[in-house]
Chain A
Amino acid sequence: MSDEYNNNKSYQAQSSEVLDGSAGSINPDMDYVRPAEIPEQDLYHAHSFIEKWIFCQDAKVIGVQYFLTAVFTGIVGLILSWLMRLQLGFPELAGFMTAEHYYQFVTMHGMIMVVYFLTALFLGGFGNYLIPLMVGARDMVFPYVNMLSFWMFFVAVAVLMASFFVPGGPTGAGWTLYPPQTILEGTPGSGMGILLMLISLSLFVIGFTMGGLNYMITILQARTRGMTLMRMPLTVWGIFTATVLAMLAFPALLVSAIMMTLDKVLQTSFFMPTILKAGEVLEYGGGSPILFQHLFWFFGHPEVYIVALPAFGIVSDLISVHARKNIFGYRMMVWAIVGIGGLSFFVWAHHMYVSGMNPWFGFFFATTTLIIAVPTAMKVYNWILTLWRGNIRINTVMLWCLGFIVTFVNGGITGIFLGNVSVDVPLSDTYFVIAHFHMVMGIAPLMVIMGAVYHWFPLVAGKMLSETLGKWHFWITFLGAYSIYFPMHYLGFIGVPRRYFEMYDSPYMTSAVGMNEFISIAAFIVGAAQFILVFNIIKTLKTGKKAEQNPWKANSLEWYTSTVPPEHGNFGERLPVVHRWPYDFSVPGAKDDFIPQTTAPSEVANTEVEKT
């Protein structure tokens, strides 16, 4: 193990590091940072191609692996949405598509996008890449488990994709998998398809637990000296809270998947009441379909925030860096993330107002749901107040952030309609719901993902993505997606139910034929526009201009690695020592408009920086 980092540096030496850090005007009291309490982590360096790029233990490579696998599933989900829109807008061109196919596409699109694309991308992708870099660690605390986490996810994706090729095809039960229809004939894929889905979900949860333990423990235990919790970038706060939610919520999904597998395979009746099918009474009896819905949404609602909180965190950092201004109300932002996370476990039944559960629950869940709007609104105010009196660079990254604010506020407001129990009654199960959740947890997080890709690409690849292509990509995506989902709310007002293979002949539905065609065309264009990014990445990797270190002039630690892109171990010989929060932008009296987290107070002695 000759190539391990030298860990012989003594306790004393590390604690005195700050003294030899800045030559000249040192002030030991002013620059004091608590000494390290434990020696540095041992890292296992790769010795072969396979160890370096395939079964790799470096969180950054694992992050990229997660990212690419998730993007692959996302492209599958995108193609499925095209097929659905073809059927809805131009049924005469979709003659090859039966109702079975349509429902299978609906189901797979939903499950892929929520779980295998968004969750894996934010936590597995951005989480792995950014957590160790942002908290100043050399790697995740359990690199080997981290590697297993990705490969478990990979197998889960393989099993999921395999369901396209089994007899009967993938499950067409809707992504919510509501029993009894999920495992009964009359629903496509009720044989092998649903089994593979349940197995794949179980594998995903197992793999995700391995990753999640890493993210949590790395953030709690492996922060560098001086990186207090209240100095962490909001990206890390968002990912951390989302991971805690995932650890508590995914078990509910796992048990419901196991129980449903038993109902399917062994004819147990956890979720199955007495059922009459084709004139015969089936062998089930006494189970509760609503129990499944409670379990599913106990997972499913926190799941929304598992996607949203990392997006909140990341977008806060992007806005702050590109507006050259500190994030407004950092502490409020942190408590809002934690508060939203906590509350998200008390709102699940707002998905079930008309499910037939005891209607008295409605009072409780409507109240908790609208309470969650308060911390969420505070976050929105703080984003726009960060822009206020800033010095805003209107570049591609900032455009995605602005697009996020518009779509998120739009989707958040429609959430108040749906959360407010009696208002939900006419709107639930209609296109209004589809428009709402795509706006708020489809498009809005996607805007953040794209912003984050343009922001961190120079770090990951060492090259700058093309701004021109980036702007085209943004405007087509934003305007296109907005024209898909904004008018769709009005289909819901008319009363068009979701999950309809065709609109049939109801007069108020046929009035929307033109709108359906328009939405479909917009969907084709927006989907195709995503390949601008693929082209941009390929072109940049080949011929792009080399990025300088820290091209955006950001403060957080990931931009202060020993090399760009960072090598295994991230920070070279010495771990950075943190003296401040990552938002010291435009501090009066400072030479530059940013002060990195590693800058000791004595180095910027004549600035009017607030203590953080």
Chain B
Amino acid sequence: MHAGIIFLLVIVGSVLFHIFTPWYWTDIASNWGGMDSTITLTFWVGGGVFVAVCLFMVYCVFRYSHKEDRRAEYKPEDKKLEKILTWATTLGVAALLAPGLIIWNQYVNVPKNALEVDVMAWQWGWQYRLPGADGKLGTTQVRNIADNNPFGINPDDPFGKDDIMIESDVINLENNRPVKILLRSVDVLHNWYVPQFRSKMDAVPGTVTFYWFEPNKVGEYEVLCAEYCGVGHYAMRGGVEVQDKADYEVWLSEQETFQQLSARYEKLNVDGNKLAKK
């Protein structure tokens, strides 16, 4: 008897915990509300099955606990019942799978007007680059990376000259404009993750990966690394600031292009040499 009561309390407690939990997802700040809805749907269906199965189990514990003078039923199979359960489960699973796949289809198809943001990860930090006036990012190579070329942009690529280099671990984004995050890593796996945007993808050295979202709430957000990348993993943070169009454009105009950065370093070098000569 006690056993049944304790199991019952566990089930009731689980449901109450879910209803009254102070810990739940952060306020969403992107277009991926569909992910939240699918989670909610899965909670209803899955949670319903969990409660139903467990309550049935508790009922059996109360109703059929051992008595010397009673015998269990002898019925090896019930084809009809098994068939009903199989089909009901299949239908339920399909109902959960369908919205999942629909949203995934949106996730892998990036809108044409998305702004490309090149995110480069290393142990342990983030760096950002935006396409310049030509709207195209210059090609890159790990071997080109140097102080005066933090992204390793190919010097003879004309598209690279006007690329905008962000000298900060915080990137600004324009509110309500889709962004395609291009992820690169120079050393190990990383993952550029903002919980409020719901989306994430690993950065893999040797290849460029991507995902997209549309920020829809002005504010500052923290970037976390979500793929284990060595001892500094837990401290690998960055930031995102989502701004209205006007503010964003002011910020954008203050950033340096690759050409300007190269020129600045050249000047530094020349000045340095002069100093050394003196």
Contacts and interface: CB of A to CB of B under 8 A. Distances in A.
Interface of A: 99-100, 103, 172-174, 178, 180-181, 184, 186-188, 273-277, 281, 286-290, 323-326, 328-332, 354-356, 359-360, 362-363, 366-367, 370-371, 373-374, 377-378, 380-381, 384-385, 387-394, 399, 402, 405-406, 409-410, 413-414, 416-417, 420-423, 425-430, 475, 479, 482, 486-487, 490-491, 493-495, 497-502, 504, 506, 508, 511-512, 515, 583, 585-588, 593, 608, 610, 612
A417 B78 contact: no
B32 interface: yes
Contact of A417 (B21, B26, B39, B202): B39
Given A99-B231, A416-B93, 6 more contacts: A355-B204, A394-B3, A405-B57, A410-B14, A487-B17, A610-B76
B61 A409 contact: no
A275 B232 contact: no
A277 B232 CA distance: 14
Contacts of B204: 289-290, 355-356
A402 B224 contact: no
A117 B7 CA distance: 28
Interface in B179-233: 183, 186-189, 191, 193, 195-196, 198-207, 209, 211, 222, 224-233
B58 to A, nearest CB: 9
A399 B73 CA distance: 21
Given A174-B228, A330-B76, A511-B23, A406 B7 contact: yes
A339 to B, nearest CB: 11
With most chain A CB atoms within 10 A of its CB, the pick from B11, B32, B186 is B186
Contacts of A381: 53, 82, 85
Nearest to B226: A429
Interface stretch (B98-106, B111-119, B259-267, B268-276): B98-106
B90 interface: yes
Contacts of B142: 274-276, 281
B199 A391 contact: no
Contact of B35 (A281, A426, A479): A426
23 contacts: A99-B234, A181-B230, A186-B123, A275-B205, A325-B74, A329-B78, A354-B201, A359-B108, A366-B101, A378-B82, A384-B57, A388-B64, A391-B64, A405-B54, A405-B57, A421-B100, A425-B35, A425-B198, A425-B199, A495-B193, A497-B224, A504-B235, A585-B74
Contacts of A420: 38, 42, 96-97, 100
B46 interface: yes
Of A287, A384, A391, A500, most B-chain CB atoms within 10 Å: A391
A186 B232 contact: yes
Given A390-B64, A409-B50, A326 B74 contact: yes
A174 B230 CA distance: 9
Contact of A394 (B53, B61, B203, B206): B61
Given A186-B232, A429-B227, A487-B17, A409 B205 contact: no
Contacts of A188: 231
Contacts of A180: 187-189, 205
B65 interface: yes
B57 A500 contact: no
A423 B38 contact: yes
A356 B23 contact: no
Given A409-B50, A416-B93, A100 B78 contact: no
Contacts of A429: 191, 193, 200, 226-227
B64 A387 contact: yes
Contacts of A493: 23-25
Given A186-B123, A370-B96, A425-B35, A586 B86 contact: no
A506 B191 CA distance: 17
A409 B24 contact: no
A406 B189 contact: no
A288 B207 CA distance: 9
A312 to B, nearest CB: 15
A260 B272 CA distance: 45
A508 B200 CA distance: 18
B89 to A, nearest CB: 5
B70 interface: yes
Q: Most B CB atoms within 10 A — which of A188, A286, A427, A429?
A: A429
B251 interface: no
A267 to B, nearest CB: 16
B65 A423 contact: no
Contacts of B3: 394, 399, 402
What 7 A-B pairs are tightest by C-beta distance, nearest first?
Answer: A273-B206, A495-B195, A356-B209, A420-B100, A181-B188, A325-B72, A413-B46
A325 B77 CA distance: 12
B60 interface: yes
Given A274-B143, A422-B107, A100 B231 contact: yes
A586 B74 contact: yes
Could you say which of A362, A497, A502 has the most chain B C-beta atoms within 10 Å of its C-beta? A497
B66 interface: yes
Contacts of B186: 275-276
A323 B60 CA distance: 10
B187 A184 contact: yes
Contact of A586 (B71, B81, B232): B71
